Amino acid sequence: MTAPTDSTPEAPQRVVIVGGGLAGAHAAEPLREQGFDGRVTIVGAEPHLPYERPPLSKGLLLGSDEPDSVFVHDQQWYDDQRVTLRTGTRATAIHLDAREVALDDGTRLPYDRLLLATGAQPRHLPMADESGADIAYLRTLDDSRALLAGLSGSLLVIGAGWIGLEVASAARQAGAEVTVVESAPAPLSAVLGPELADVVASLHREHGVDLRTSTGVESIEHADGRTVVRLSDGAELHPDRILVAIGAVPDDALAAAAGLATDKGVLVNAGLRTSDPHVWAAGDVAQHDHPTHGRIRVEHWDTAIQHGKHAARGMLGDEAPYTQEPYFFTDQYDLGMEYVGNPGPDGYDEVVVRGDRESRVLTALWLRRGTVVAGMHLNDWDAIDPIRAWVGHEATAELRDTSVALGDVPLPDSEG
């Protein structure tokens, strides 16, 4: 086992993980791999074994994934690893001085190291919640199952972000009539920028989605079994069901109530440790001090997994900073996308696009002051390695020469 650090001197015997999601489940892995022999407990509010969320808006909703394929590990794995899983149990308070977590079944769990992996919750739209209409949000396995059960008739999706668009795709493939309303001028415009967002807009329109951009929702009413949605352009819609997909908010209330430093997430240092020397945070809830990006909170599958593992090593004394670039993927219809990097609040000033918009096989690199800050491919799966390699590097003339395939462009510091 790695030696404990000066600031948390005693060797840990009891690790408690609050949050039985991706980050929490993956945190349990390196603990045993690194020889930690003490007690490991995962406290998860949901009734299920820890599971993957990406299939909830893709394979599970399409009916193409086996229901059990979403679980990170089966129960046997937790038994073999001597990890106690307390599903259906919510942590209600953290007592930092006593180093105990209070649970909603009245027990108190003592810890030497605590990992907060409480994730995020969908951002709510009060006018929808108060309307009495059939309103759905999508975060949990149960949400996904409920959505799947009613994926017919007409669906209004509010918000053309990743989840809204993935559900629109699944709903169209299930034969539903789908309208997507987005206040920005294009779907995913904050990530793709105006240069590329039209590729996604045309994809959905070609598949029969009524995509209304630069449009807000003014009111939602429901009476006599009929829903009336009024839009900012004066149009009126009558959907059977409404999915609100307007982003997520970090589940940091438990941490804040305990007195841990929070600011739109639990503040953690480069190594994912919180303001308390015995407590770490990982995944969607962590507001990370990233060595190259500064303060950043990432809501991506890969980050949750890597954060979980990194925090576990941290709890065993490894103070290395977490340096990985954010990575994201999405699948919509026959389009697969992978994205690496983070332009951050300073954005980008140049985009280098290779490939073909019509067939939607392309790569894009976003540059700021000549340095590649992010990259993406659409349906060009071999491109992800060169894209990863280029993020953080200064662009060369060859990189900007789009007649040369990205994989053939030498990195500035590579030989030959």
Q: How many residues bind ligand FAD (CB under 6 A)?
A: 37
State the Cα–Cα distance between residues 165 and 201, nearest whole angstrom. Answer: 10
Residues 6+ apart with CB under 8 A from 189: 197
- Please report how close the Cβ of residue 218 comes to ligand FAD at its closest, in angstroms: 27
Q: How many CA atoms lie within 13 A of 189 on its CB side?
A: 12
Does residue 24 interact with ligand FAD by CB under 6 A? yes
Does residue 265 interact with ligand FAD by CB under 6 A? no
- Please report how close the Cβ of residue 66 comes to ligand FAD at its closest, in angstroms: 17
Does residue 388 interact with ligand FAD by CB under 6 A? no
Structure tokens at 319: 């103070």
Q: Which stretch binds ligand FAD (CB under 6 A): 12-20, 215-223, 259-267, 315-323?
A: 12-20
283 closest CA partner among 308, 264, 258:
308
Amino acid at residue number 345: P
Residue pair 278/113 in contact (Cβ under 8 Å)? The answer is: yes
Amino acid at residue number 302: D
**Between residues 46 and 182, which has the closer beta carbon with respect to ligand FAD?**
46
Q: Which stretch binds ligand FAD (CB under 6 A): 17-25, 176-184, 268-276, 347-355?
A: 17-25
State the first-to-last Cα distance of the chain, in angstroms, to the nearest integer.
Answer: 42
Does residue 252 interact with ligand FAD by CB under 6 A? no
**Between residues 112 and 251, which has the closer beta carbon with respect to ligand FAD?**
251
Residue 244, SS3 per DSSP:
strand
Q: For ligand FAD, which residue of 239, 283, 317, 341 counts as binding (CB under 6 A)? A: 283
State the Cα–Cα distance between residues 211 and 180, nearest whole angstrom. Answer: 5
Closest CB to ligand FAD: residue number: 21
In DSSP terms, which residues pair with 327 in a beta bridge? 340
CB atoms within 10 A of CB 217: 21
- Please report how close the Cβ of residue 281 comes to ligand FAD at its closest, in angstroms: 9
Report H helices in 298-405: 301-315, 384-390, 397-400
State the Cα–Cα distance between residues 354 and 401, nearest whole angstrom. Answer: 9
The interface mask with ligand FAD, positions 109-138, x = CB under 6 A, is --------xxxx-----------------x
Does residue 28 interact with ligand FAD by CB under 6 A? no
Q: For ligand FAD, which residue of 30, 36, 40, 54 counts as binding (CB under 6 A)? A: 54
- Please report how close the Cβ of residue 43 comes to ligand FAD at its closest, in angstroms: 5
Residues that bind ligand FAD (CB under 6 A): 18-24, 43-46, 53-54, 56-57, 90-91, 117-120, 138-139, 163, 251, 254, 283-285, 299-302, 304, 328-330
